[in-house]
């Protein structure tokens, strides 16, 4: 497999070249840059370049023309949710699992501690670029800890030990956004076990996933076709969808909010009519530890 540094210039150059899972994070960043008034991610454009934007367009054309819009809605929902909880609930640390190139640290409160977790390639690249942009004055200074992890690992105990020390008693918000589709069931269970170990009462956990019902729709089949043709998958890859019951049945957490692309669109752009069949409907779950 090519290294991340090598693959960036080349990956979007030919349509034949498959991309790695971690490189999907460029596409979501490009989507968020498409409507910053809605997404509120005013730094997403830093990741974009014409080749990445072209790839995002190719994905939109193949799967759904509404994917850019849906990603802006998702970012906006977490932006608004986090802002409110930070002010009301005294959140002290945001731990973003599979952070990709999302930019929450830079458009949220400077008082927070941000823990950014992703694959070795994403973390190395994100750290290098954000530090360079901070030096240039393009990004504000923030307290950020970058951590490398592989959620497919047979044990997450090393990651847990590191996080337990860094997080300590701080009140946390854990975010798992755009990741579960790429993971298997046992990886997912291990991650949620880690979340439960790490968090104390009244702390928050947000997760994004597709519901199994979506698998029957043509738009999901288009996604699978696109992934099959364009993504370099790993052994654990199963196109995971997750039923509501997974979240409702976690005995140590209470589901306090549940949104999807349709409800968010109704909230932020009520005038916009969404064609049901063309929406790759994502669900956002907000849980609070009991
Ligand atoms: C579609 S991107 C989403 C990134 C970001 N959360 C967002 O919403 O823009 C998926 C992210 O999950 C990360 N990821 C997928 N599988 C992973 C694994 N096994 N271990 C660590 N990170 C993983 C990828 O590297 C990538 O950054």
Domain ranges of the chain: 4-289
Inter-CA distances, 281 with 10, 45, 115, 259, 269, Å: 31, 25, 28, 10, 16
Q: Measured from the CB, is residue 152 less than 6 Å from ligand 1? A: yes
Residue in the structure block whose two tokens are 């104390």 = 200
Q: Measured from the CB, is residue 22 less than 6 Å from ligand 1? A: yes
What's the whole-number average pLDDT of the chain?
92
Residue in the structure block whose two tokens are 């597709």 = 210
132 Cβ partners below 8 Å, 6+ apart?
A: none
Q: Which two tokens stand for residue 88?
A: 């009301």
CA 117 / ligand 1 centre spacing (Å): 9
pLDDT at 264 over 90: yes
Residue whose CA is closest, atom 23 of ligand 1? Answer: 98
Degrees to nearest 5, angle at CA 24 with 153 and 171: 60
On whether the 4-289 domain is CATH 3.40.50.150, my answer is yes
Give φ, ψ of 93 to 5 degrees: -140, 130
Q: Measured from the CB, is residue 72 less than 6 Å from ligand 1? A: no
Cα gap 195→205, rounded to integer Å:
8
Q: Which two tokens stand for residue 49?
A: 């370049």
Burial of 256 (0-12, 13-18, 19+ CB in 10 A): exposed
CA 227 / ligand 1 centre spacing (Å): 15
The half-sphere exposure of 42 on its side-chain side, counting CA atoms within 13 A, is: 7
Pocket probe mutation, ligand 1, options 118, 124, 152, max atoms within 8 Å of Cβ: 118
Inter-helix orientation angle 261-268/67-89, to 10°: 80
Residue whose CA is closest, atom 14 of ligand 1? Answer: 98
Give Rg (Cα) of the chain.
Answer: 18
Cα gap 231→211, rounded to integer Å:
21
Cα gap 188→136, rounded to integer Å:
38
Q: Measured from the CB, is residue 188 less than 6 Å from ligand 1? A: no
Specify the pLDDT at position 19: 75
Condensed to tens digits (0 to 9), the pLDDT of residues 10-61 reads 333 344 567 787 788 999 999 999 999 999 999 999 998 888 888 899 899 9
Condensed to tens digits (0 to 9), the pLDDT of residues 276-286 reads 999 999 999 99
Q: Which two tokens stand for residue 102?
A: 């999302």
Residue 175: alpha-carbon gap to chain centroid: 7
Pocket probe mutation, ligand 1, options 27, 100, 223, max atoms within 8 Å of Cβ: 100
pTM: 0.94
Q: Which two tokens stand for residue 93?
A: 């640390």
CA 194 / ligand 1 centre spacing (Å): 17
Q: Measured from the CB, is residue 102 less than 6 Å from ligand 1? A: yes
- 110: phi > 0 → left, psi -120 to 50 → alpha, else beta; which? alpha
> Parallel, antiparallel, or unpaired for β 283-289 and 253-260?
antiparallel
> Parallel, antiparallel, or unpaired for β 253-260 and 93-97?
unpaired
Condensed to tens digits (0 to 9), the pLDDT of residues 63-103 reads 999 999 999 999 999 999 999 999 998 899 999 999 999 99
What's the whole-number mean pLDDT along residues 181-198?
96
Cα gap 205→64, rounded to integer Å:
28
Cα gap 91→277, rounded to integer Å:
38
């Amino acid at each position: 497999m090519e290294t991340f540094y090598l693959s960036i210039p080349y990956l979007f150059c030919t349509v034949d070249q498959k991309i790695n899972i971690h490189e999907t994070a460029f596409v979501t960043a490009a989507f968020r840059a498409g409507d910053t008034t809605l997404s509120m991610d005013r730094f997403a454009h830093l990741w974009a370049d014409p080749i990445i934007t072209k790839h995002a367009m190719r994905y939109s054309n193949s799967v759904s023309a509404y994917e850019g819009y849906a990603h802006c809605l998702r970012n906006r929902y977490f932006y608004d949710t986090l802002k409110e909880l930070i002010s009301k609930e005294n959140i002290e640390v945001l731990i973003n699992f599979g952070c990709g190139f999302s930019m929450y640290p830079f458009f949220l409160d400077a008082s927070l501690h941000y823990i950014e977790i992703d694959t070795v390639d994403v973390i190395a690249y994100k750290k290098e670029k954000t530090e360079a942009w901070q030096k240039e004055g393009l990004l504000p200074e923030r307290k950020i800890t970058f951590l490398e992890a592989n959620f497919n690992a047979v044990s997450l105990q090393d990651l847990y030990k590191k996080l337990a020390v860094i997080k300590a008693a701080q009140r946390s918000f854990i975010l798992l956004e755009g990741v579960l589709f790429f993971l298997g069931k046992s990886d997912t269970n291990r991650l949620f076990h880690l979340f439960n170990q790490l968090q104390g009462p009244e702390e928050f956990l947000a997760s994004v996933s597709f519901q199994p019902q979506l698998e029957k729709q043509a738009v999901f089949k288009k996604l699978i076709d696109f992934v099959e043709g364009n993504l370099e998958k790993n052994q654990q890859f199963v196109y995971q969808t997750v039923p509501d019951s997974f979240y409702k049945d976690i005995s140590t957490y209470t589901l306090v909010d549940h949104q999807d692309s349709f409800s968010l669109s109704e909230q932020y752009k009520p005038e916009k009519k969404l064609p049901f069949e063309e929406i790759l409907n994502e669900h956002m779950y907000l849980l609070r530890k009991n």
